[in-house]
Amino acid sequence: MNATFIVIGVLILIVLIGVSQYNSLVRLNVNVNEGFSQIEVQLQRRADLIPNLVESVKGYAAHEKTTLDAVISARAQATSAQGVQEVAAADGSLTNALRGLLAVAEAYPDLKASANFLSLQEELSSTENKVGFARQYYNDNVRKLNASIVAIPGKFFAGMAKVSERDFYVIDDPAKRDVPNVKFD
Amino acid sequence: MGSLTAFVFYAVALWLGYTSVGLIPIVIVLSLIGVWGSYYSSDKIVLAMTGAKLIDHDSAPQLFNLVQEITIAAGLPMPKVAIVEDSAPNAFATGRDPEHAVIAFTSGILAVMDRDQLQGVAAHELAHVANRDTLVSAVAATTAGAIALLSDFVLRITMFGGNRRDNNGGNPVALIAALIAAILAPVAALLLKAAISRKREALADATAVSYTRNPTGLRRALETLALDSTVVKQRSNAVAHMWIESPLDNSATSKLFATHPTLASRIATLRALET
């Protein structure tokens, strides 16, 4: 009699643990998807801002052709990218091209003073921050999801919840990778 | 605010001569209704009380953008953003849940702070939203209010209304201990409430850094607040806990009752995070 109660209790406990594990895995997976779609939304917003920016820079500095072309081709690449790794790579090169363009703009006082350019610059740098924060949110959630899939007891329920480990969003940022040259004479 | 209404009701009832035990549940229920009401519509009440004006992306693009940046970092819905016309630099957040949150900045804080600093402040305020601090402070206020009412009730019974027949048999030491406890309980409740508020402020600073990953911005913002000696005109106790910098005087005597840790200690904590 007592033994049956114990067995029933243990079974109920296992079911409860299973339900809570399943729910938390599914929730983390949703967060990861949400994070990635937020990244895509912000990248799209940035891509939409670029034509305006290019036009307003052209008005003052049409001869900075190489910089402008670099931005346009990086944008084209970014809008056609698919999947985490490809999107991340295109995102990195567009970020760099834009950094170059904004640096060029520094040399044109008329351009820098124009209200149109100033508001574009605010939108663009804010979008840049949003992309960064969306990346941070996505990667945090990927880390949590991957950690709970690998660990026990999440390991046993991952298959049932149809979730698997996800890729981190890693961008190639040459500005960060370049190690400063130190010389000892 | 709710417990205040209940207190007034209680005081009036006592003044009119109703000292029955039956009053206590009525007062507590009224107080609960009041606190729940002010918690549930905190966004609307506070906007009306402080005279904050709601803004959108077109009327204040930079402020709107930097709040939106933090909501993305935190995975929160976009709150209502408002500006309070007040030259003292300060900011607050309120609302019953993240879907009904309001965060407000004074025009003073927008004038003195740069983008990084404002981002730190916005992150601190959104951290309050994410940590459900409106709920926490409503519970703390209700508890403190209920303890004050109960101890008042105990005092009245032991001093005036007590059963005369028991007086000879009663233990005087126990009576005195009960009196002391009844007198100290409301003070302890207030201390507890203030301590909870201070802990939640410290937590909000930490949560803010987890959003921005940039302790420097918030640290510099707090330093600017420390240098500034003006305080917001809203000096009422009712909304004091909501501001990022306490609008009440932070003198040594009120340290235990302070709703915020000192700016110096908050700055030191953030500085320790910068490496």
Instruction: Please name the helix (run of DSSP H) or strand (run of DSSP E) that holds residue B103, with its range, or none.
Output: strand B102-106
Residue B232 confidence (pLDDT): 66
Q: What average pLDDT does this structure show over A22-40?
A: 90
Q: Do B69 and A119 touch (CB under 8 A)?
A: no
Do B60 and B120 lie in one domain? The reply is yes
Provide the residue range defining the domain that includes B103. 52-133+196-273
What distance in Å separates the CA atoms of residue B49 and residue B115, rounded to the nearest whole number?
28
For the stretch A6-30, pLDDT in tens is: 999 999 998 998 899 889 999 999 9
Q: What is the pLDDT of residue B208?
A: 94
Same domain? B1 vs B127: no
Q: Alpha helices of A106-114 — where are they, by DSSP H?
A: 109-113
Give the minimum alpha-carbon distance from A136 to chain B in angstroms, rounded to a whole number.
7
- pTM of the entire predicted model: 0.81
- Tell me what pLDDT residue B18 has: 62
Confidence category of residue B256, pLDDT binned at 50, 70, 90: low
A24 in contact with B, Cβ within 8 Å: no
Q: In this structure, is residue B265 part of a structural domain?
A: yes
- pLDDT at position B144 is 79
Q: What tokens were used for B268?
A: 């030191």
- Asked if residue B158 belongs to a domain, the reply is no
Question: For the residues A75-89, what does the mean pLDDT come to?
Answer: 83
Q: How confident is the model at residue B234 (pLDDT cuts 50, 70, 90)?
A: low
Assess whether B22 and B74 both reside in one domain. no
Which residues in B lie closer than 8 A to residue A35 (C-beta atoms)? 75
- What would the mean pLDDT of B15-22 be, rounded to a whole number? 63
Q: Give the pLDDT mean for A81-110.
A: 83
Q: Is A42 in Cβ contact with B65 (below 8 Å)?
A: no
One domain, residues B11 and B71: no
Contact B75 A35 (CB under 8 A): yes
Given this model, what pLDDT does residue B112 score? Answer: 92
In this complex, is the C-beta atom of A121 within 8 Å of any C-beta atom belonging to chain B? Answer: no
> What is the count of structural domains for chain B?
2
The reply to whether B97 and B203 lie within a common domain is yes
Same domain for B210 and B267, yes or no, is: yes
Residue A18 CB-density burial (10 A; 0-12 exposed, 13-18 middle, 19+ buried): middle
For residue A119, what is the nearest residue in chain B, using CA coordinates? B61
Residue B182's pLDDT is what? 78
Q: How many helices (H) and strands (E) does chain B have?
A: 10, 4
Do B30 and B103 fall into the same domain?
no
Which ipTM was obtained for this model? 0.78
| pLDDT value of residue B123 | 95
**How high is the pLDDT of residue A32?**
92
The answer on pLDDT for B222 being more than 70 is yes
Half-sphere exposure of A97 (CA within 13 A, CB side): 26
- In the prediction, which pLDDT does B221 show? 92
The pLDDT-based confidence of A102 (bands split at 50, 70, 90) is confident
Can you give the pLDDT at residue A12? 93
More confident residue, A30 or A62: A30
The answer to whether residue A172 neighbours chain B at the CB level (below 8 Å) is: no
CATH number at residue B241: 3.30.2010.10
pLDDT at A99: 84
Residue B235 has pLDDT above 60, yes or no: no
Looking at the complex, report in whole angstroms how far the Cα of residue B70 sits from the nearest Cα belonging to chain A.
7
Residues B20 and B61 in one domain: no
Q: Does A45 contact chain B (CB < 8 Å)?
A: no
**Percentage of residues in chain A having pLDDT higher than 70:** 92
Shared domain check, B21 and B76: no
Subunit contact B73:A122, Cβ cutoff 8 A: no
Same domain, B35 and B60: no
Asked if residue A182 belongs to a domain, the reply is: no
Catalytic residue (choose from B85, B99, B125, B201): B125
Q: Which domain holds residue A77?
A: 2-173
For B32-87, the pLDDT digits (tens) are 787 788 788 888 887 887 788 899 988 889 999 999 999 999 989 999 999 988 88
d(CA B25, CA B165): 26
Q: What is the DSSP letter of B243?
A: B
Residues facing B243 on adjacent strands: B92
Band of the pLDDT at A142, cuts 50, 70, 90?
very high
For residue A117, the domain's CATH number is 1.20.1440.20
3-state secondary structure of A133: helix
B61 in the same domain as B28: no
pLDDT category at B94 given cuts 50, 70, 90 is confident
* pLDDT band per the 50, 70, 90 thresholds, residue B129: very high
B109 and B4, same structural domain? Answer: no
Q: What is the pLDDT of residue A63?
A: 74
Residue A86 lies in a domain: yes
- Please indicate, yes or no, if residue B150 is contained in any of the structural domains: no
